[in-house]
Structure 1
């Protein structure tokens, strides 16, 4: 009975070919560098990302202005509702009109600014998106150039490995732990299948269909503990396979990666100017290369330009003290209580009708429309 225990402690190899097989040659590497330089988008991405960040702040201010307009209109409605009672009380009417006039003018200024800012923001956003379109156009052109380069590389490699005399030689230095009761030959024989299989897995020019042309043990030695060191020379018939294709894609940056975007708040996420979603954690697939990432929350944002080389996690946390909701107190609720306290005594039925008429036309009086009867003139005096 033979007792054996095979444990591969260390395995390394050095591969060479009589034709010097290379995934990418020096001339192809130079062509790749020229493409990278020609379509460099780093500065464009930084500029566009900064502009988008500033634009998001302006959008927040624009929204705040709309809240302010709504607040002032609510305040105006409240002031106008008190106008008839103020007229009937005959106390400081002119000052009250001035207050209304100032409020109307302020609302008008705010609405004018809101309209101008809205148009400006829309123009600015179009310009920013145009910059991102330019960036994406450069990316498209770059991808076309890279695809063309890949096609040339692939054709060259297929031609090289298809030559009848092309051989992939592998010089392997390795070690394994054998049973103390085994001979060197028996241990090597038991290890041969693993050594060949592992070599095929690790060499990009070999796959399961690769033909083993030769397998020669150059040197082997084993100590008393069963540690076997060996040198083996192998030769295979190489072939173009998916491992080569994957390596070409990786070297040319034609692969994509899955990135995870994480924040401590439910932020809005933008990649290269395009909103991809809202939340504390998002997953998104992007091509390898440079990308502008922006996280926006309320009036705050964080952005950066990242060189994506593979799957990764990007954290954009916001200061907890700076992301609390800004509560806007609209006038009306507290003022309503004041109105109820100032409610005049019960009027007669004829006075009540006149009061309703004054309430309906109070705004017209303020705007400069003359009174329609002597009684209204008396109330205005």
Structure 2
């Protein structure tokens, strides 16, 4: 009993470690630890209840109920504690569950060489230790090679995510059957082992193809951001050309302005001359291009947004101190700012308000902080500081923020929606 309890505890602790590595934490550390503690308790109690009280530990019903019950509980915890898009969470859990089944069967085969009774305390502990050792290189591979891609890939292309999740689910069914076979039969036939090995090879080959598709989705997302960045920079180039044309016009008309001023002064019309100069200066100020900050890409996005909002009759207040060189890439600035500002303009239009959009960009210590407030339509839902449903734009912002271990929080008060983005640079 004690050894079984220790084995179950080690198993669920390994699940918790893997969940923490694979998921984007949704709640505070304290709340997440509390949820995982409840998970550990439920997992262990459910396994002991099924195998010790309701059924004989050696019976097939005990295996089925323990396996499916703990799998469902694990799925609920995984979905609950991650703030990734649902389609991405489902895929990750299915991959993890399949990997667990592979390690479960591998440990069963290896322990059967030494122990004739697979339900003995020594056999159970040995299988648990083998599974734990198999997890270690898998965790290293995921953290070093796969997690950066999974953090970056957006969850917007749901058709692809649903397709690869379906494939993963089918493999999980196959591996679950292997688990039941190995749990009930300790005399492994050679063709069982060969079939299992062949299935594992096929599964990892399919995973290789799937991660190729994920890399393609990342590349496609980057190209979209590059195109959007190019559009902003082209807008800046167009504005620069217009300013140059305006400067030529000013130089051409400057002689006429001087002649008018000279005529007024000869007549002693000093007040009229001063008023003429004030009007002339105001016209120059109105035509002067807006320069919000030294950062070229950020300034291009803010300028484009400012002109668009002005054309739509929306008042905008912008403060930015982003330096010319920053750790945040241009593409990530495009992903965050373009979606954030576009949503702000659309929010003003949808609610029919003529309020003010306020945008503030600051570099505080080692963090880049972006805050945007705008009037919004009634009925918006904020859950756990996140807009629901998220939408493609919010998913894109989240994908960019995760690269910098960042955080995005929404707050709604008195019809004003405030979004705060913090990037650790």
Into which bin does the TM-score normalised by the smaller protein fall? Answer: 0.3 to 0.5
Q: Which has the higher contact order (CA 8 A, sep 6+)?
A: 1
User: Which structure has greater helix proportion?
Assistant: 2
Structure showing greater Rg: 1
